Structure 1
Amino acid sequence: MRPYLFILIFLALIVGCGPPNKVGKEQITWAVGKDATGAQGELIKLFESKYPAYKVNMIEMPESASTQHDSYVTYLSTADSSIDIYTIDVIWPAEFAAAEWIIPLDDYFGPIKETDFLKGPIDACIYQGKLYAIPWFTDAGVLYYRKDILREEKLTPPRTWQELIDQAMKLQEKYKVHGFVFQAQQYEGLICNFLEYVWGNGGSIEYNGKFDIANPRARQALQFMVDIIHKYEIAPEGVITYKEEESRQIFTSGRAAFHRNWPYVWAIAQNEAKGSMVKDKVGIIPMVHNAGCKSSSVLGGWNLAISKYSKNKQAAWKFIEFLSSYEAQKLYAIKGGRLPTRKDVYQDEEVLRFAPHYRDFYQVFINARPRPVSPYYSQISDLLQIELHQALTLRKTVEEALIDASKKIEEVVRQQVP
């Protein structure tokens, strides 16, 4: 893993976003996930034009959140100072803070400023009463649909599991497209999909602070995911290898009727220059739920943290302050399709013209549910991913997979408790 990171840093310094060693410029090295929209490069150019004393070197990390996490852990555990700013998943602040890899930002980011941001993303950045990261963009799982073919068939967008199945089967047969694509590879995105079905079935995997993975509602949710692939066959078997981009590409190329993903897909779906075949043909609705239950989305998003080992902390904060500004979040919302963490951006008329669904979905976004907050969440997630994937690939029954996951997670928790 470590040689891979050195190669990434070398390439960033050689080609990055321009020559990094201009005389007099203070260097900032930023590790961030792959961006299919090009908006991150535009943000860097805007920052450097506004603040010419700084030069940002972007290290583009792999798409997979799980791979990013493992890379960051390997890097930070060596106390390396090459990276100043880490872009971290909403589920990592507690882990990274407990390991003392990132610094508290309370002295930079006062309580008055916190009120400008959505509460959920801010809360996800707090560990033991201290703020360890700044919310950059937030996320909530949504269901995309082909509004043109639903309109042609005089169908109302689905709300329940059964309605999704019925419509996907009909459209798949008539229009020769996949009924439904989502993320079912063995990685963190699989956990997000699973939790939305569990919550949309009136259940949870955590009760009174304790994990209960194999409860009846969780079993029913996982069985529904298995049936989507193997019983109703509305998702291709290859879905078990899909992450966000693999599934997104199928949908925006016009080869699927329904698609679960994050809001960033909207910007790409409207951009023919990015290969979209569905411009002006896409709608967004909340995730489907089981009959008699309510829709629920996973709180996603990414935050900006300063490495404890950075030698450029003040410069790093300057860039973070810019990325979390109204101006930068507006640009990222329009160019990158990312949900702002600043409340006021949701009232911006230009943003609403580009993404009118922001107005209707504001309550969905602010009420998205977080994954369990725990310093050892990553260990729990890794174990659960394996067992969920075993069920989706029919290597285990749903009951076997969830019981095995429950036993392994109980052991992790037991080992961590003093």
Structure 2
Amino acid sequence: MDTEQRQFLDDILSGMRSGRITRRTFLERATLLGLTSTSALSLLEACGGSASGANTLVWQSENDTSNTYGKLTEAFNTTVGKKNNIAVVWRQGPNSTDDLLTRYTTTLRARGTSIDILSLDVVYPAQFAANAWIQPLDKFWTPEERKNYLQSPLQACTYQGKLWAAPFRTDIGLLYYRSDLLSHPPKTWEELSNVARTLQPQTKYGFVWQGAQYEGLVCNFAEVLHSYGGAVLDTKDPTNIKVNDARGRAALSTMVNWVGTISPDAVITYQEQQSLDVFKSGDALFMRNWPFAIAISNDAKQSRIPRQFEIGALPAGDKEGTGHSTIGGWNLAINAFLPEERARAAWEFIKYMLSPEAQKIAALKATFTVTLASIYGDADVLKQHPEFARFKPILEQSQPRPVSPKYTAVSNAIQKHIFRALKHQVTPVEALANLETELNNIINPR
């Protein structure tokens, strides 16, 4: 919603309150802004007939095809919002995260306030904080209150000791395995490779994952790296580059050795959908993917293996280690350029989205892996989505991708050098040395 659209919204709300336009005219004009009838009605309900008017906020979300965000906005507007004289307009996000990022940067570079509440991909809070585009939330949300939420998503939203966004929902890498062919998941990558080689004749491939040169490769590499106890950047000092050490070399060598053995040569072209296509066709013993693949793989209309697989934690680097999923997810932040009153109103909405009520609605309606830890033991959620019981311990061991205000450049460098190793253009040793050099140039320029 740009500045002109925001002014148009304020005008029709003012007209509705003063009696200058009818309810029907308000709804007709609201749809011109792209509001759904549900959003417009909830906005109208929240504004009521008060002469003083409601504090109207715009929430720009990522793309939500389930309309869960519309339902949650409506629930807020008719309860907490109505009580506090706050009305939130939900703006559906574009299909592409890159398009959403462009929308944000265009608005915030101009110090615009046409968006009050921003949904941020998990990798962007540090970048937005470094640009002074979002407000720290520490004055609204105490450390004591945060203890009830998953810690890894909070870590991903923390930069220079401050919390810059509130994690609403997260995502985790999972290991899918054929339960009709083996009784339990492997505990280490070595065990996975050995089992895959033994049982591969019964499928077609042993293990499929995301090896193409894109953001998914960063997630896959980070998971293997973390499983060996390594890291791209030091979590306490993100200017300290750690990837080029024995743990990094062990992780990358493991991945390189999969290509053309337990994984198809074409795995270096695979993203999430290609991996899923192979697995649900019954052609792979193991798959690394996100939770969205559970429902599809269990749908007999789309899959040859419904109820013939299970999910588990990703393997560890060795028997003494622990597997770690990389987190995805979306977080709620407040525009840094808002006046104090609007910022506090924005926090009221975010606080509602973090509430047990809203988190439970999101889990039940959209199967979102939300961040309130108690949801994973909720009887209603477990009845409808029993897999949530298995998610909690995996989520508790999950880790974020490198937290950096220069994340886009960091990610591109990781993709480039890891991909070259997977293609056997360079050795793992050479790839990590080159990656270390490029990351130093990005993070610590002279």
User: Which TM-score tier does this pair reach, normalised by the shorter chain?
Assistant: 0.7 to 0.9
Using a 3 Å threshold, how does the CA distance of structure 1 residues 47 and 282 change in structure 2: closer, same or farther? farther
Match of 1:162 in 2: 190
What one-letter code is carried by the residue in structure 1 that aligns with 2:36? C
| Partner residue, 1:61 | 94
- Aligned CA distance change for structure 1 residues 220 and 111 (closer, same or farther; 3 Å): closer
1:396 to 403, 410, 426: 426
In 2, the alpha carbon distance for the partners of 1:282 and 1:184 equals: 22
Q: 1:222 to 1:360 in 2, by over 3 A?
A: same
**Aligned twin of 1:201:** 228
Following superposition of structure 1 onto structure 2, how do residues 31-110 of structure 1 map, counting pairs within 5 Å? Answer: 31-35=60-64, 39-47=68-76, 50=79, 54=87, 56-62=89-95, 69=101, 72-110=104-142
Distance 1:102 1:387, change over 3 A: same
Cα drift, residue 144 of structure 1: 1.6
Aligned residues of 1:30 and 1:85 also touching (Cα < 8 A): yes
Instruction: Tell me if 1:328 matches 2:354.
Output: no
1:17 aligns with 2:45: no
Residue in 2 that maps onto 1:220: 250
Alignment partner, residue 291 of structure 2: 263
Q: Alpha carbons of 1:256 and 1:236: their partners in 2 closer, same or farther (altered >3 Å)?
A: farther
Alignment pair present for 1:384 and 2:401: no
* Map 1:334-353 → 2, pairs under 5 A: 334-353=364-383
Residue identity over aligned pairs, in percent, reads: 34
Note if contact 1:82-1:310 (Cα within 8 Å) is conserved in structure 2. Answer: no
8 Å contact from structure 2 (residues 210, 267) kept in 1: no
Alignment-derived partner of residue 7 in structure 1:
none
Residue of structure 2 in register with 1:362 after alignment: 392
- Output one character per residue of 1:218-246: Cα deviation in whole Å (capped at 9) or x when no partner: 123223223323x315246155341x455
Contact 1:165 1:232 in 2 (8 A): no
CA distance in 2, matches of 1:378, 1:255: 34
Provide the C-alpha distance between the structure 2 equivalents of 1:402 and 1:334, rounded to a whole number of angstroms: 43
Query: How far apart, CA to CA, are the structure 2 residues paired with 1:170 and 1:61?
Result: 45
Structure 1 window deviating more from structure 2 (351-360 vs 92-101): it is: 351-360
Match of 2:168 among 129, 136, 145: 136
Change (3 A) 1:70 1:400: farther
AA in 1 matched with 2:285: A
Normalised to the residue count of structure 2, the TM-score between the two structures is 0.75
Offset at residue 333 of structure 1 (A): 2.0
Alignment counterpart, residue 304 of structure 1, candidates 307, 313, 332: 332
Q: Structure 1 residues 253, 61: CA separation in 2 closer, same or farther (over 3 Å shift)?
A: farther
Aligned to 1:283: 310
Deviates more, 1:344-353 or 1:287-296: 287-296
User: Out of 400, 405, 408, which is 2:435 matched to?
Assistant: 405
Residue of structure 2 equivalent to 1:8: none
User: Residues of 1 paired with 2:103 and 2:268: CA distance?
Assistant: 25
Q: Deviations over 1:107-141 (max 9, x none)?
A: 43344532332333334333344332111023332
Deviation per CA, 1:236-269: give whole Å up to 9, x if none. 6155341x45544554565543221233444554
Equivalent in 189, 202, 210 of residue 183 of structure 1: 210
Q: Deviations 1:8-62 (Å, cap 9, x if unpaired)? A: xxxx965453487678556544333344655445444544565577353333234
- AA aligned to 1:382 is N
5+ residue gaps, structure 1, are 3-11
Higher RCO (CA 8 Å, separation ≥ 6 residues):
1
Tell me how far apart the structure 2 counterparts of residues 290 and 236 of structure 1 sit (CA, whole Å). 23
Matched, 1:292 2:325: no
How does 1:225-244 map onto structure 2 within 5 Å? 225-229=255-259, 231-235=260-264, 237=266, 239-242=268-271, 244=272
Report the Cα distance in structure 2 between the residues aligned to 1:95 and 1:248, rounded to whole angstroms: 32
Q: Which moved more, 1:244-253 or 1:403-412?
A: 244-253
Q: Distance in 1 between matches of 2:198 and 2:75?
A: 47
Structure (1 or 2) with the larger CA radius of gyration = 2
- Secondary structure of 2:400's counterpart equals coil
* SS of corresponding position for 2:61: strand
Match of 1:117 among 144, 149, 170: 149
SS in 2 for 1:221: helix
Superposed, which structure 2 residues align to 1:241-252 within 5 Å? 241-242=270-271, 244-248=272-276, 250-252=278-280
CA distance in 1, matches of 2:300, 2:67: 14
1:193 is displaced (CA, Å) by 1.0
Q: Deviations over 1:134-174 (max 9, x none)?
A: 11023332212232x32xxx443222223323444555543
Counterpart Cα distance in 2 of 1:198 and 1:18:
47
Separation of aligned partners in 1, 2:348 and 2:215: 31
How far has the Cα of 1:406 moved from its partner? Answer: 0.9
Q: Which moved more, 1:71-80 or 1:190-199?
A: 71-80
AA in 2 matched with 1:221: A
Report how far residue 344 of structure 1 moved.
1.9
